[in-house]
Structure formats: structure tokens, C-alpha cells
């Protein structure tokens, strides 16, 4: 085991153990130690869930396109891409499962699905996506098959469609909520899809270059793909904000003010805008082709992806449907301000550690399985 691998395993293991303290608190005390309540019922874990499933969709979309179109030059991306897609999807499901009031009743969503419900459709899309992901990973990683196999190529086509549909459906879950002007937009599903594609492709690029799964020339191609995805995400986010601000809808404007100038303005301007957009954009444009620049830009984009999801989730919920509601009822759990407690941060750290360990296990497994003998 190399020094790099030892450091990564120790860091992931330490995060897992520290985060487990929060998981124990969650199991023993339920939701009483969390900062969310009746007015702001979703918090950090929902933000992590939306981030991770979006990453999974973006990673899987990249893999599926490579397989479906048989892009031979990018063959080395397929295996790490599947590992990232599987690890982030499992982490996302774990995050939302922990957030549920009674996690043991999650199975009822499938046996009592309301087929007029976006959430019901989303649950079944998740199940279909998981099946295709597992089968494709089995064929490519364990059996060493490539898109030369008709089964793998067809799974690539199906996977590309499913990745787009289930990422869009996740966005639609927010977009159809008419009571929340900050979410209620036809651009919301597109925003989820583009942000997921960006963060997922960035994470795959980081993992592939970190573990030397691709050559320098492929790394430069990935850098250009990340740059293109970043530019598209900037354009969609600008369209979403500018149209809402220009329309001057009071509730939307209040949510935007909360994001841009509220108590946690730094999450947007410093974490998202500076670290997640400006610096990666500068690295990819002015230091294009340099391995370190591509790795750094990809790492920053993936690491800061949570900021956009938290801004989206919290800013809409922290604005009352009508102003009088703010003072109508008060008491425990009836607060409009939200910031995660230590328990929530620890559980979030544990979830991310699980994802990191899953990626490390996948990378270890790939080194012990023979690479495909035939190029994609």
C-alpha cells in the first residue's frame, strides 16, 4: 500500500469514527438534537442527499455516454466513474434514510406509492437506476466487459436516459411546490441536472487523476469537459436567479436576499462563488492542460457542491408563506433560522466518510480485477 493510500485510509477511517459519535446520538435521541423544526423541516442531511444523488447521476451520465457512444479514448474513465456513481448514490440514500422520522418505514414508499406523486415516481426511478448501476458495474468491473459487449452498450444507453430522468425528477420534487416561490420554477429540474453533472464529472475527474486511472492526455480532455459543464451550470444558475429577481416576487426576493446578504452570505459568495466557481474557472482557463490545475479545480467543485444545495433547501424554507406567520406561533421547533448542530455535522461527516471508504474499496477492488482486454 502506497503512502498516498495509507493517508487516505487513515483520514477516511478517522472521519468515520468521529462521525459515528453523531450517529449514536441520532439513534439514541432521534431528532431532538437537530436544529430543524416545524417551519424549517429539512436541513443539512437533505442538502447532503441532494448533493450526493446529483453527483451520482452526473458520474453515471458520463460513464453511460462513453459506453453508449463507444468513445475509445475515454475507456479509463468507465471503472472509476462507476465506483464514484455507486458510492455517492449509496451515500445519498443513507443521508435521506437517516433524515426520515421513522427510517424503518421507508419500504412503504414502494408498496403504497401514489402514482400522482413526484416523490413516488422518484423512488421507483431510484430503484431502476440502482439495478442498472449494479448490473453495469458487475459487467464492467467484475467481468471485465466493455461496450464491445451488446449488453454493456445497451445498459449504457438505458443508464444515460435514467441518469437524466432521475436527476430531473429530483429537481421536479422541489420545482412543483407552488407554495415555495424559490423552488417553483421550470428551471429547477434543469438546475439540478446541470449542477449534478458538474459535480459528478468533477469528482470522477479528481478520483481518476488521483489514482492514476487515466493518462495525461485523457486528463486534459476531462479538464475540458469539466470546464464545459461549469460554464453551462453558470449559465443556468444565472438564468434562474436573474429571472426570479427581475420578476420581483416578494417571497422569491426574500429567499434571494437570505442567500446573498443573510447571516450565511459567505456560503454563497466565498464557498460557492469564489471557491466553487471563480478559482476553478481560472484554473481551467489559464492553466488548462496542467494536471495539478485540473485536479485542484475538480476537487474544489466537488468539495463546494454542498453550498448550492443548502442555499436552495434552507433559503426557501426559512421564508414564511406570509409575514404574519413569523410571530403567530412561537416555541421549541417553531423557528425560522437554521444552522446545523454539532450532531448534524457529525452525522454528515460520517456519511461522507462512508462515501470515501466506498470509493477506496472500489479502487482497491479495481486493482485486483483485470482491466478490460479490449478497448471501449
Q: Do the domain assignments include residue 375?
A: no
Per-residue cell: 298:
475538480
Give the up-direction half-sphere exposure of residue 302: CA atoms within 13 A in the CB hemisphere: 25
Q: Is 374 contained in some domain?
A: no
Rounded Cα–Cα distance for residues 259 and 255 (Å): 6
Identify whether 290 is part of a domain.
yes
- pLDDT digit string, tens, across residues 16-72: 999 999 999 999 998 888 888 888 888 999 999 999 999 999 999 999 889 888 888
| Residue 373 covered by a domain | no
Number of domains in the chain: 1
- Whether 376 maps to a domain, the answer reads no
Question: How does residue 374 score in pLDDT terms, banded at 50, 70 and 90?
Answer: very low
Residue 282 lies in a domain: yes
Report the mean per-residue pLDDT for the chain: 87
**Residue 228, domain member (yes or no):** yes
| Helix, strand, coil percent content, the chain, rounded in steps of 5 | 75, 0, 25
- 344 CB contacts (<8 Å, ≥6 apart)? 22, 33, 34, 35, 43, 44, 45
Please write the tens of the pLDDT for every residue from 252-306: 888 888 888 888 889 999 999 999 999 999 999 998 778 999 999 999 999 999 9
The string of pLDDT tens digits covering residues 2-16 is 888 899 999 999 999
Q: What is the DSSP string of 182-226?
A: TT-STTHHHHHHHHHHHHHHHHHHHHHHHTT-S-HHHHHHHHHHH
Residue 372 has pLDDT above 60, yes or no: no
Q: 318-340: per-residue pLDDT in tens?
A: 877 777 677 777 777 778 888 99
CA distances from residue 205 to 87, 133, 290, 320 in whole angstroms, order as listed: 15, 19, 13, 40
At 266, give phi and psi (nearest 5°).
-65, -25
Q: Residue 55: inside a domain, yes or no? A: yes
In this structure, the dihedral spanned by the alpha carbons of residues 363, 367, 369 and 373, taken in order and rounded to 10 degrees, is 110
User: In this structure, what are the phi and psi dihedrals at residue 151, rounded to the nearest 5 degrees?
Assistant: -65, -45
Domain residue limits at 269: 3-368
Q: Compute the distance between CA of residue 309 and CA of residue 297 in angstroms, rounded to an integer.
A: 19
* Burial state string for 195-234 with b = 16 or more CB within 10 A and e = fewer than 16: bbbbbbbbbbbbbbbbbebbeeebbbbbbebbbebbebbe
pLDDT of residue 153: 81
Q: What is the CATH number of the domain that holds 227?
A: 1.20.1630.10
Long-range pairs for 111-116: beta carbons < 8 A, 24 or more residues apart:
none
Residue 141: how many CB atoms within 10 A of its CB?
A: 21
Q: Using CA of residue 20, residue 24, residue 27, residue 29, what is the dihedral sign?
A: negative
Amino acid at each position: 500500500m502506497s503512502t498516498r493510500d495509507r493517508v487516505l485510509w487513515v483520514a477516511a477511517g478517522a472521519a468515520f469514527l468521529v462521525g459515528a459519535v453523531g450517529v449514536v446520538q441520532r439513534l439514541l435521541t432521534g431528532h431532538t438534537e437537530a436544529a430543524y423544526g416545524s417551519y424549517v423541516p429539512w436541513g443539512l442531511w437533505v442538502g447532503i442527499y441532494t448533493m450526493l444523488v446529483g453527483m451520482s447521476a452526473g458520474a453515471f451520465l458520463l460513464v453511460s455516454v462513453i459506453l453508449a457512444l463507444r468513445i475509445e479514448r475515454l475507456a479509463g474513465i468507465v471503472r472509476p466513474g462507476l465506483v464514484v456513481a455507486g458510492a455517492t448514490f449509496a451515500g445519498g440514500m443513507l443521508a435521506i434514510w437517516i433524515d426520515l422520522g421513522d427510517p424503518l418505514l421507508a419500504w412503504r414508499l414502494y408498496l403504497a406509492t401514489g402514482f400522482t406523486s413526484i416523490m413516488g415516481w422518484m423512488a421507483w426511478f431510484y430503484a431502476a437506476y440502482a439495478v442498472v448501476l449494479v448490473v453495469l458495474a458487475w459487467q464492467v468491473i467484475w467481468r471485465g466487459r466493455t461496450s464491445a459487449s451488446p449488453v454493456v452498450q445497451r445498459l449504457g444507453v438505458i443508464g444515460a436516459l435514467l441518469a437524466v430522468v432521475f436527476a430531473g425528477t429530483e429537481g421536479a420534487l422541489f420545482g412543483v411546490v407552488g407554495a415555495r416561490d424559490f423552488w417553483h420554477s421550470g428551471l429547477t429540474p434543469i438546475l439540478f441536472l446541470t449542477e449534478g453533472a458538474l459535480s459528478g464529472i468533477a469528482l470522477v475527474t479528481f478520483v481518476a487523476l488521483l489514482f492514476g486511472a487515466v493518462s495525461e492526455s485523457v486528463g486534459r480532455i476531462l479538464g475540458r469537459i469539466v470546464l464545459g459543464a461549469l460554464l453551462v451550470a453558470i449559465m443556468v444558475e444565472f438564468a434562474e436567479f436573474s429571472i426570479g429577481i427581475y420578476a420581483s416576487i416578494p417571497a422569491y426576493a426574500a429567499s434571494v436576499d437570505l442567500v446573498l446578504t443573510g447571516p450565511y452570505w459567505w456560503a454563497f459568495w466565498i464557498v460557492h462563488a469564489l471557491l466553487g466557481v471563480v478559482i476553478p474557472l481560472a484554473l481551467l482557463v489559464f492553466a488548462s492542460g496542467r494536471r495539478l490545475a485540473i485536479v485542484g479545480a475538480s476537487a474544489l467543485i466537488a468539495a463546494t457542491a454542498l453550498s448550492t444545495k443548502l442555499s436552495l433547501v434552507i433559503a426557501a424554507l426559512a421564508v414564511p408563506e406570509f409575514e404574519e406567520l413569523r410571530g403567530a406561533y412561537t416555541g421549541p421547533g417553531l423557528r425560522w433560522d437554521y444552522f446545523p448542530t454539532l450532531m448534524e455535522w457529525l452525522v454528515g461527516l460520517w456519511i461522507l466518510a462512508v462515501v470515501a471508504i466506498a470509493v477506496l474499496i472500489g479502487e482497491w477492488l479495481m486493482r485486483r480485477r483485470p482491466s478490460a482486454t479490449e478497448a471501449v
